[in-house]
């Protein structure tokens, strides 16, 4: 099953909540040219749940598995994965701001729900996703384009024009934690960010990309501060997805 990536056409930080979490307004679009591949395999190298393929490190998938156990599905999971493993082929660049780990987790959740006949409803799936990360609700929605707000859990369908995006992936794996910390340490105007976001959320992608790159993504300048090699992409008018390092232009 294909796990598609996403791009942030814009990303404005508009507030900070009582937990010190960043509140955002963003446009997410699904990227069907970039995807990881997941399927169940009969190949086993150890007992219990395991991931095989070209990326077997600890991922949100393991947390997803744990959440399903917590919901009382341990027996079903143990029985199913006694003779099966999850094959994961990573094609989405790691640390590229494309939501690779999140889309993998949602795809795994949907696969398990169907294969094991767990009969989890949409609301239950959303509750699991909210515990696991900010990007997951978008991937669960099935939308091709949406305005996303809150900490990523508020997803509203948007009728977009789906411009083709020409992506470049610098040889830099950006840490979201470090980039957001750099934002916190910078000079910013949350009110101005909010006002601009109110306009951007009404526009189609083709219209949004007429704006300056640093106006569209509040994390671009902090990203450059932490990763100076990203400076040339800012100077060459690329747009940054998420906290980076994936950058793009309209084709």
Q: Which residues have a catalytic role annotated?
A: 6, 135
**Within 10 Å of residue 163's Cβ, how many Cβ atoms?**
18
CA 250 – CA 238 distance, rounded (Å): 9
- Using the 8-state DSSP alphabet, how is residue 162 labeled? -
CA 148 – CA 115 distance, rounded (Å): 30
CA 127 – CA 75 distance, rounded (Å): 21
Q: Which strands, in side-by-side order, build the sheet including 247-250?
A: 165-168, 247-250, 239-240
**Within 10 Å of residue 207's Cβ, how many Cβ atoms?**
13
Place of tokens 């937990």: 19
Contact status, residue 6 vs residue 139, Cβ threshold 8 Å: yes
Element (H, E) at 45: none
CA 22 – CA 8 distance, rounded (Å): 16
């Amino acid at each position: 099953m294909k796990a598609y990536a996403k791009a942030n056409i814009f990303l404005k930080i508009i507030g900070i909540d009582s937990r010190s979490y960043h509140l955002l307004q963003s446009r997410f679009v699904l990227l069907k040219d970039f995807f990881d591949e997941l399927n169940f395999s009969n190949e086993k190298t150890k007992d219990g749940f395991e991931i095989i393929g070209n990326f077997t490190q600890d991922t949100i998938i393991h947390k997803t598995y744990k959440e399903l156990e917590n919901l009382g599905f341990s027996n079903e999971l143990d029985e199913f994965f006694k003779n099966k493993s999850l094959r994961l082929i990573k094609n989405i660049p790691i640390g590229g701001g494309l939501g690779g780990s999140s889309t993998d987790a949602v795809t795994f959740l949907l696969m398990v729900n169907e294969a094991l006949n767990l009969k989890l409803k949409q609301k239950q799936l959303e509750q699991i996703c909210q515990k696991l990360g900010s990007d997951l609700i978008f991937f669960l929605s099935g939308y091709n384009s949406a305005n996303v707000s809150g900490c990523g859990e508020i997803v509203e369908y948007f009728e977009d024009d789906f411009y083709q995006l020409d992506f470049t992936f610098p040889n830099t794996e950006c840490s979201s934690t470090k980039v957001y910390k750099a934002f916190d340490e910078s000079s910013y105007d949350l009110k101005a960010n909010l006002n601009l976001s109110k306009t951007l959320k009404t526009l189609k992608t083709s219209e949004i990309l007429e704006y300056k790159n640093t106006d569209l993504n509040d994390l671009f300048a902090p990203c450059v501060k932490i990763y100076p090699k990203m400076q040339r992409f800012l100077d060459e008018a690329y747009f940054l997805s998420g906290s980076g390092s994936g950058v793009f232009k309209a084709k």
